[in-house]
């Protein structure tokens, strides 16, 4: 399954944050300022996430090290998930997040393809 970046908010990508917030097209104007907006092709069914699976931004590939309990459902319902490029905290991991490695933010532009494998 894959998504395609259609808009990048002015505050969406900040190297100091180590995270990217992805949202579907229904995001509010306030959320769009801090999010990467994606459109997801749902014709092949729901997105299935799995530990050890991969998330790619064009050719930049990441391994999923932790999945928050709401990550998959929110991704499928509203195109929302937070991708975190850091260690999984021992407490208070985000419930709507995918933690990935390596811990390097991807280069994203309008048209970037996001693959969920």
Inside any domain, residue 44: no
Classify residue 46: in a domain, yes or no.
Answer: no
pLDDT along the chain (117 residues), means of 10: 95 89 96 96 89 97 97 96 96 95 96 96
pLDDT at residue 60, rounded to an integer: 98
User: Residue 6 falls within a domain, yes or no?
Assistant: yes
Domain membership of residue 50 (yes or no) is no
> Tell me, what's the pLDDT at 1?
85
CA 66 to the chain's CA centroid: 13
Query: What is the number of structural domains in the chain?
Result: 1
Model confidence, pTM:
0.94
Residue 88: CATH number of its domain? 2.40.33.40
Quote the distance between the C-alpha of residue 99 and its chain's center: 9
Question: Domain range spanning residue 95?
Answer: 1-22+29-37+66-117
Q: What is the pLDDT of residue 44?
A: 83
Q: Could you tell me the two tokens for 40?
A: 């997801």
113 occurs within a structural domain = yes
pLDDT of residue 32: 96
Tokens 């990508």 correspond to what residue?
13
Establish if 115 belongs to a structural domain: yes
User: Can you give the pLDDT at residue 14?
Assistant: 84
Q: What is the pLDDT of residue 5?
A: 98
Residue with tokens 């991704």: 75
């Amino acid at each position: 399954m894959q998504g395609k970046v259609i808009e990048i908010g002015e505050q969406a990508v900040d190297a100091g944050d180590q995270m990217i917030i992805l949202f579907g097209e229904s995001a509010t104007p306030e959320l769009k300022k801090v999010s990467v907006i994606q459109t997801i092709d749902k014709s092949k069914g729901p997105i299935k996430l799995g530990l050890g699976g991969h998330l790619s931004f064009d050719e930049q590939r990441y391994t999923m090290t932790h999945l928050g309990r709401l990550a998959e459902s929110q991704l499928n319902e509203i195109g929302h998930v937070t991708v975190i490029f850091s260690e999984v905290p021992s407490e208070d991991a985000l419930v709507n997040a995918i933690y990935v490695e390596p811990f390097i933010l991807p280069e994203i532009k309008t048209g970037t393809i996001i693959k969920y494998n």
